[in-house]
Chains A and B, each alone.
Chain A
Amino acid sequence: MKNSQNGTLTSVEIVPRCLSFFYIGLLIVLPLIAITAKAFQGGLRNLFHQITLPEGIYSLKLTFFLAIILMFINIITGTATAWVLVRYNFPLKNIMNSLIDIPFAIPTVVTGIMLVVLYGPNSVIGSIFENHGLEIIFNKPGIILALLFVTFPFVVRSVQPVLMEMDKDMEEAAQTLGASRISIFFRVILPTLLPSILTGAALSFSRALGEFGSIVIVAGNIPFKTQVASVYIYGEIESANIQGALGTAVVLLFSSFIVLVFLNLLQRWSHKHES
């Protein structure tokens, strides 16, 4: 039996490889090529025109704006949560740790419904806020709440393992040398955690760009007010306006690519950090 060291391929190697190419080709590559071909069919100017349709471009701006806000909130709360889970001891810590992933387990539609039940105009909390002139559901705060819920685990789960493996030696050394708590955090802890924080942030950013299920229920989807990109695309598909959906979809798709490339670079960077 020949093997790959002789330069020739056996069927044991070639069959799985072909199957892999076939499956990824059918499921991922062909749909990508199809949408790209469709988008550039009418030429670059046409595509640019589709992207800059007022409703579409508003939805894109809103989506990116909310995703960036969300990313910064998640960086702080996610790192703090991971810190508390690794470094502190408190009652019910194990239960909290197992509940961190629950946003991943709950279907996004259900998340949306939960938030409407809790903060909607008919709820106790929602009506209190409404009396003070703050609308949560069917407005932007509702979208942020939904996004915060569905992306909560990302930063926590990427920072937690790094924090667990991190030696306390360096911190204690810095402490005995008289460094303040703040300078220890910024000079010793943060640089070690940075790749994992950025990974979690990029994951939650990309999720926020694409999130649909929870937002479609919570946002009210009013054009030029609460309509995010994914909901806009859905609306255009529903009204059989493929061209209108294309421009916005291509921008979202392209952004996903950028995030993936960024994540890849991060991974290499943190591997270098380790060795």
Chain B
Amino acid sequence: MNPELNRVELIRNRRHIGEWVTLSLVLLWFFILILIPIFGIIRETFSQGLDAVKTSLATPASLHAFWLTILLTTSAVILNTLFGTILAIVLARQNFKGKLILESLLDLPFAVSPVVAGFMLIILFGSTGWIGSWFSSMNIKIIYALPGMLIATLFVTFPFVAREILPVLREFGPEQEEAASTLGASQWQTFWRITLPTIKWGLVYGVTLTIARSIGEFGAVLVVSGSIINKTQTATLRIHDQFSDFNYAGAFSAALILIVASFLLLNFIKHIYKTKGGNTS
């Protein structure tokens, strides 16, 4: 037995060198690829001076862009939370023909290029498209206007809420809900008292991802918006515009705000998730 143990010890010790090499390579890669670019933009923003940052952020065009981003994000969160939850419940609790197809379609927005997504929306909702021509006969513009930008944001963020809730619903099964309704609870009561508490954390996480993606979405919104200053320009489109015009102070400071906002949001939610979500489950 002893020689065998020594053998294992020997192998473990030999592993140390390989361990160190792997660890340093991974850390080096992470440092170069992820950390240095982030430090770079923080340094660059403040090298322009705080006044330049302030003045470029306080322009009406920038304020409008941020406001538009907030508006689109809020609307996307409300609509996709509502429909995402409904869809997840339907997929988890009902059986019908075409369910598998419905579920595969749910993942499509993750796989499709944002530019192609925007392009599809132009074809359908543009002034010559099937739906777009109908609206344009009533003088409602969808593409190159706010409704198109909302649809584009809805498209790219659609899967998040449903995808986060679905596994939770499947894991818990319908037993408790059925018990509640046998005991005489109405469907609404069952939803609010049984289903909602179950999916709460999945919902929170899905909403967080929806917010982060809505704030950062660029390609799909760019294609359908036309990026018109003070009209259809969101924060990311504004950053792109300013960068193309060599207004670096404006571009960097707005970019930094978005990075900080998304990062804080993600980690804040993760923190709550760990401290509270861990206890309840």
What residues of chain A have their CB less than 8 Å away from a CB belonging to chain B? 4, 12-13, 16-17, 19-21, 23-24, 27-32, 34-35, 38, 77, 80-81, 83-84, 88, 90, 96, 98-99, 101-111, 113-115, 117-118, 145, 148-149, 152, 175-176, 178, 181, 206, 209-213, 216-217, 229-231, 233-234, 237, 242, 245, 249, 252-253, 256-257, 259-260, 263-264
Q: Is B129 an interface residue (CB 8 A)?
A: yes
The answer to whether A102 and B113 have CB atoms under 8 Å apart is: no
* Residue B222 is within 8 A (CB to CB) of chain A in the complex: yes
Determine which of A178, A212, A260 lies in contact with B113 in the assembled complex, contact meaning CB atoms within 8 Å.
A212
Contacts of A24 in B (CB 8 A): 87, 102, 105-106
B55 interface residue (CB < 8 Å to A) = no
Residues of B with C-beta under 8 A to A263: 107
Which of A31, A77, A84 has its CB near the most chain B CB atoms (within 10 A)? Answer: A31
Q: B218 touching A213 by the CB < 8 A rule?
A: yes
Cβ of A21: which chain B residues have Cβ within 8 Å of it?
Answer: 102
Interface residue stretch chosen among B60-68, B134-142, B254-262: B254-262
The answer to whether A81 and B26 have CB atoms under 8 Å apart is: yes
Chain B residues proximal to chain A, CB less than 8 Å: 4, 7-8, 11, 14-15, 18-19, 22-23, 25-27, 29-30, 33-38, 40-41, 44, 83, 86-87, 89-91, 94-96, 102, 104-124, 129-131, 151, 154-155, 158, 187, 212, 215-219, 222-223, 236, 239-240, 243, 251-252, 255, 258-259, 262-263, 265-267, 270
User: Are B262 and A106 in contact (CB-based, < 8 A)?
Assistant: yes
Interface of B: prevailing SS? helix
- Nearest to B271 among chain A residues (CB) is A98
Contacts of B96 in A (CB 8 A): 17
**Contact partner of A16 among B86, B113, B116, B255, CB < 8 A?**
B86
Q: Are A107 and B83 in contact (CB under 8 A)?
A: no
Pick the residue among A4, A88, A102, A237 that contacts B119 (CB under 8 A): A237
Asked if A148 and B33 sit within 8 Å, CB to CB, the answer is: yes
Q: Which residue of B lies closest to A81 (CB)?
A: B26
Residue among A83, A256, A263, A264 having the largest count of chain B Cβ atoms under 10 Å: A256
B15 touches A181 (CB 8 A): yes
Q: Is the CB of B215 within 8 A of A107?
A: yes
